[in-house]
Structure 1
Amino acid sequence: MTKEEKIVQFDPNGLATGDRIYGLPFNSKDAEVVIFPVPWEVTVSYSGGTALGPEAVLEASKQVDLYDPYVRDAWKMGLYMAKIDTKWKERSDKYREKAVAYLGALETGHEDNKTAELLEKINHATHKMVKWVQESTSEYLDKDKLVVLLGGDHSTPLGYLKALAERHRSFGILQIDAHADLRDAYEGFDYSHASIMTNALKEERISKLVQVGIRDYCEEEVDAIAAQNGRVVTYFDRDLKRAKFEGKTWKEQVEEIIEHLPSKVYISFDIDGLDPKLCPNTGTPVAGGFDVEEVLYLFERLSESGRTIIGMDLNEVAPGPHDDWDANVGARILYRMCNLLGKNNGRI
């Protein structure tokens, strides 16, 4: 069946059926946007569950209505989620157990040769994960697909960023997050979720990092921001809120944020950038943060600014033990992000 035939036969107002994201009928060949799931959370330092995020979002997506007021007939573009690789989920579970043992030794001060061996094994596994993500996303990019990575913890997009750095001479990152993620090999992990932006900045082709909503950070990270001499611009949640209290509109703040970004932009969205009422089960929730429409307004204005959005990720969605609220919110955000990426790149 051709893509055109699928569009004619599909009822966007009907009940979602089947096992595909949002109940859409598309496959990897006829979809313009591919969601690449990465079920990985080896280095999380607080609560677990993010490795289950892709599966939970897939299930919750069946409850999402497909009308998008910003992108008319967005579903016709074609959206497909790659199969969740259970092998990598099993590896995540295996090395997460090793990480728990390793962190326990650090906390109690009982470090020995076995502890060092554990760290070496964990770092080797995370290096392999980054390489897998880089190779997999490269395959989709080579087929002219737009890619949205769905984590997993926030260490997962690094391979995708490397794949994009092979294809673009220069681009910036817009990061929505509660955390600065600028620690250097946090807890000894080369590719810690808390070090994702430190590792991203090692890519010379990433010319700018603009962080928005940061509200949980350490002195080391403040120093790291200053050391970048303007390559990193950080909008702390406290400062954004105080500016609003004193009369500055969100529109004005968004325009200022966007002015710092270059012509090509990658969006990295850690869901804990939102108010934790919207993601109570995320790995490291922090009081404060945004409502959904505030973040989506920023993304829409970015798209309207004439800049090209070259890729996106959504991370740290973790299903709760008693409900699917986090996945419900994540599935709706993911849909809007995918539609925006497609529109920005002229695919709809």
Structure 2
Amino acid sequence: MAGAARAGSRSVILTDPRRADCVCSCRLVQASNSKPSKQPAPRASMTAFDPDDAATPESGVFGLNDSSSEAGVRLLGAPFDATTSYRQGAARAPQAILKASHQVDLFDALMASWPGSEGRPWQAGIALEIDAYIANLNAEAAPLARSLMASDQQADSPQKRAGLLARVNEIGGEVNGRVRCWTAEALVKGAVVGIVGGDHSVPFGAFEAASAHHGAIGILHFDAHADLRPAYGGLRWSHASIFANVRERLPQVEAVLSVGLRDLGQKEARTIAESGGRLRAIHSHEWAAWRQSRADLKALVLEHIQSLPEKIWISFDIDGLDPSLCPSTGTPVPGGLTWDEASLWLTVLAESQKEIVGFDLCEVSPGQSDGPEEDSWDAMVGARLLYRLIGLALARRARP
């Protein structure tokens, strides 16, 4: 095949696992009047790059050769799944998605139909940085959390449980701080930002940074679960508690729209109902009824998107999709969005006047087998969804 291969010598960028300090030295910067910057032009260094050629194993995400300093899109891999309440494996997702991304064709015909997009997000430059220090934190926290969930509360001393909880919660706070600091720095530099989990506890720091940088934002949340349980199992930063923490700690998040809910507690349902519209939900059974009645789904999606603030963060827990697309995810639930229905939501967003200020993709799990991670169906779906989230964020920055 003519042209240069889809690869350079640079692989994924790993932050130093020995550093206990934050990955950056920035402060949260308020920029509520900031406007979306133009979509980056293709870089001169990529003029000989052939996007149709095969990626090589040592290449970076999507077979690219971009450093974080030059990339228009910066992704932070957060390999942390200590708070998962059923099956683990999401900590392996950043590496598995990296490998699976080498199988993704870099031209996307659907994205090419979006206003402001040519279907080639790779031209902006994409860099994935996997935080090895977060991986070290996970290695400590995960067995402690498993011990808490498996232990007999009657047999264990209160002091022992309190000590375990305190340490896991402390580690969760450290993860939040690293993600917050990295996101704030990337936003100040004008990059499109995305978080690749990890379980669904890891984006909280990114929500903090984005709301501090942009002011009022909304969150479009795809998930089977509401994640509104305060300190689930005593874990303040549990993946089941992230939107309880948003509700209590982030007043700049003016609205959360959760799509695909089908497994939530009675108290969570009451919290949504009594939120005064700040928390909203489209339950899976409601979506299924619209689908079965042959309703105009695009019009319904647009109506809900228009109800959100002008600036939106997309938080995508992969279990919001039908489990056939994510069979190894930690807490799969029957029902959910099909691939094309998820793509419909992204398309309507691309056609809207909303600004996408960032995104996360969480709870992808390549499974717990010892097989090659690049053979994971879950990671292949995750890599393709990640590419479309990148394309959407770029498209919504390309127009004033």
Q: TM-score range by the shorter chain?
A: over 0.9
Distance 1:67 1:278 in 2: 22
1:51 is matched with: 91
Structure number with higher helix proportion: 1
Matched, 1:217 2:264: yes
Q: CA deviation at 1:107?
A: 6.1
Q: CA deviation at 1:10?
A: 0.5
8 Å Cα contact 1:177/1:269 also seen in 2 = yes
2:45 is matched with: 6
1:128 is matched with: 174
1:92 is matched with: 138
Match of 2:147 among 85, 96, 101: 101
8 Å Cα contact 2:258/2:281 also seen in 1 = yes
Structure 2 residue runs of 5 or longer lacking an equivalent are: 1-7, 9-40, 112-116
8 Å Cα contact 2:43/2:124 also seen in 1 = no
Question: Which residue type is aligned with residue 16 of structure 1?
Answer: A
Distance 1:146 1:5 in 2: 20
1:345 is matched with: 397
Instruction: Show CA shifts across 1:104-143 (max 9, x none).
Output: 2256664531111100111111011101110111111111
8 Å Cα contact 2:184/2:213 also seen in 1 = no
Instruction: Show CA shifts across 1:58-89 (max 9, x none).
Output: 0111111111121323221111112x222221
Distance 1:279 1:39 in 2: 18
Matched, 1:145 2:197: no
Distance 1:227 1:41 in 2: 31
2:234 is matched with: 188
Instruction: Tell me the secondary structure at the aligned position of residue 346 of structure 1.
Output: coil
Instruction: Tell me the secondary structure at the aligned position of residue 209 of structure 1.
Output: strand
8 Å Cα contact 2:42/2:124 also seen in 1 = no
Matched, 1:335 2:387: yes
Distance 1:36 1:154 in 2: 14
Identity %: 38
Matched, 1:241 2:288: yes
Instruction: Tell me the secondary structure at the aligned position of residue 257 of structure 2.
Output: strand
2:206 is matched with: 160
Instruction: Tell me the secondary structure at the aligned position of residue 199 of structure 1.
Output: helix
8 Å Cα contact 2:187/2:213 also seen in 1 = no
Instruction: Show CA shifts across 1:10-30 (max 9, x none).
Output: 110101123310111222122
Q: CA deviation at 1:306?
A: 0.5
8 Å Cα contact 1:215/1:237 also seen in 2 = yes
Distance 1:149 1:49 in 2: 17
Instruction: Show CA shifts across 1:290-335 (max 9, x none).
Output: 1122112212212211011111000001002254100010001101
Structure 1 residues 195 and 59: alpha-carbon distance in aligned structure 2, compared to 1, 3 A threshold: same
Between 1:172-181 and 1:295-304, the stretch displaced more is 295-304
Distance 1:216 1:250 in 2: 22
What TM-score do you get using the length of structure 2 for normalisation? 0.83
Matches within 5 A, 1:244-323: 244-320=291-367, 321=369, 322=371, 323=375
Instruction: Show CA shifts across 1:224-266 (max 9, x none).
Output: 1122111111100011111222231321321222132111111
